[in-house]
């Protein structure tokens, strides 16, 4: 009988409320944290939802800031911090995707404010203590316990309007967190269980969402999977896939979720050669070897499949590889610069991965 490999499990520290209509409990959740003046955050596109949420909060709302934007630029954080201070707010409620939740984290880490995150995409930021910020066009990432939202409300009804294309790419962005948790250098049996369940849930939920975007059952499966994926991201070290996506997003401004969608089959197809036994949950859920299965899933969801279609120029591939080699993350399969170039070439052309 083989022994359980040694591991460290840090626990899951957020309160998670997962229920249809759960957004109605926002007042209770603010009070539960002992807070009484929430600043509601959103992007401009979700401003009317944020205002409706502030109305629901009534006296417990200090105000609304609707200027959240991609990559958490410092200028936006500074403006939001001024609003937070002027209104005498004592917590933030982040309503939206990773961009809005990033702004809430940026405020919390500077002020000690509690956060309630209400995610409306599948990106998973709400479950992590990771904050990526940009200053002068340069993106830096840090981890801090103060960055993790105290409370997360998953209300499936808030995802019904997420367009099909964004649902597909956001769901594959989530899937990448679970997949890399399966072979993470610091994996542990609990997170492995969650990752396997995440893959299973997304594998049924995402095709259902694309077939019928208003199907609350499919949406619920996708959102449940996304929660688990976020927890995987928050508890595990990510590997080559996330490294390449960070370079493509950070240095070449490629769109976040789409980049994950395009890259995932290729990075996983590369890594699966080294750890086929760890990829079993993907193969069980999707019915083929990991890279090929994810390639088929992405195609079936109508997600973009080529880097050329999302803004990379072929002549940039060499630079991406150079940057990725500078400070590589841990990875289950050793790789050379030539390997990176080959992965990027395949992702550029959208060919089926070898494994």
Contacts with ligand NAD by CB under 6 A lie at 43, 45-46, 70-71, 96-100, 102, 120-121, 123-125, 128, 130-132, 158-159, 161-162, 170, 233, 256-257
Among residues 70 and 81, whose Cβ is nearest to ligand NAD? 70
Of 193, 220, 218, 191, the closest CA to residue 207 belongs to 218
Q: SS3 letters for 103-167?
A: HHHHHHHHHCCEEEEEECCCCCHHHCCEEEEEECCEEEEEECHHHCCCEEEECHHHHCCCCHHHH
Give, as one character, the DSSP assignment of residue 88. Answer: T
Q: How far is the CB of 152 from ligand NAD (least distance, A)?
A: 12
Q: How far is the CB of 280 from ligand NAD (least distance, A)?
A: 26
Q: How far is the CB of 275 from ligand NAD (least distance, A)?
A: 24
Among residues 268 and 292, whose Cβ is nearest to ligand NAD? 268
Residue with tokens 């990027």: 344
Q: What is the dihedral of CA 57, 59, 60, 65, to 10 degrees?
A: 70
Among residues 76 and 343, whose Cβ is nearest to ligand NAD? 76
CB of 179 closer than 8 Å to CB of 261:
no
Among residues 192 and 235, whose Cβ is nearest to ligand NAD? 235
Q: How far is the CB of 270 from ligand NAD (least distance, A)?
A: 22
Among residues 159 and 188, whose Cβ is nearest to ligand NAD? 159
Residue with tokens 């990829």: 279
**Residue in the shown chain whose Cβ atom is closest to ligand NAD:** 98
Among residues 76 and 272, whose Cβ is nearest to ligand NAD? 76
Q: How far is the CB of 3 from ligand NAD (least distance, A)?
A: 33
d(CA 222, CA 304): 19
Among residues 161 and 217, whose Cβ is nearest to ligand NAD? 161
Q: How far is the CB of 234 from ligand NAD (least distance, A)?
A: 7
Q: CB under 8 Å to 204, separation ≥6 — which residues?
A: 218, 221
Q: How far is the CB of 233 from ligand NAD (least distance, A)?
A: 6
Per-residue CA distances from 69 to 99, 102, 137 (Å)? 6, 9, 13
């Amino acid at each position: 009988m083989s022994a359980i490999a040694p591991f460290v499990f840090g626990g899951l520290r957020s309160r998670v409320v997962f229920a249809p209509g759960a957004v109605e409990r926002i007042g209770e959740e603010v009070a539960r944290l002992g807070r009484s003046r929430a600043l509601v955050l959103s992007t401009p596109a979700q401003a009317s939802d944020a205002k409706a949420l502030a109305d629901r909060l009534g006296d417990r709302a200090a105000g609304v800031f609707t200027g959240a934007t991609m990559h958490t630029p410092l200028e936006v954080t500074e403006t939001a911090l001024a609003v937070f201070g002027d209104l005498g707010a004592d917590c933030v409620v982040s309503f939206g995707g990773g961009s809005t939740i990033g702004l809430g984290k940026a405020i919390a880490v500077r002020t000690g404010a509690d956060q309630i995150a209400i995610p409306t995409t599948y990106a998973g930021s709400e479950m992590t203590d990771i904050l990526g910020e940009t200053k002068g066009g340069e993106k830096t990432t840090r981890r801090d316990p103060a960055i993790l939202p105290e409370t997360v409300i998953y209300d499936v009804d808030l995802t019904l309007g997420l367009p099909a294309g964004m649902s597909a790419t956001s769901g594959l962005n989530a899937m990448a967190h679970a997949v890399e948790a399966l072979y993470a250098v610091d994996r542990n049996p609990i997170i492995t269980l969650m990752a396997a369940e995440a893959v299973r849930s997304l594998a049924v939920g995402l095709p259902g969402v694309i077939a019928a975007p208003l199907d609350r059952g499919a949406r619920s499966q996708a959102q449940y999977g996304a929660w688990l994926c976020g927890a995987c991201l928050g508890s595990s070290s990510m590997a080559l896939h996330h490294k390449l996506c960070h370079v493509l997003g950070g240095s070449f401004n490629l769109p976040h979720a789409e980049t994950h969608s395009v890259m995932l089959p290729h990075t996983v197809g590369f890594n699966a050669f080294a750890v086929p036994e760890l990829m079993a949950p993907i193969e069980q859920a999707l019915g083929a070897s990991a890279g090929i299965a994810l390639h088929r899933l992405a195609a079936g969801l109508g997600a973009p499949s080529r880097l050329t279609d999302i803004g990379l120029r072929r002549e940039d591939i060499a630079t991406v590889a150079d940057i990725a080699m500078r400070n590589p993350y841990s990875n289950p399969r050793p790789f050379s610069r030539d390997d990176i170039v080959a992965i990027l070439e395949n992702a550029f052309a959208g060919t089926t991965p070898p494994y």
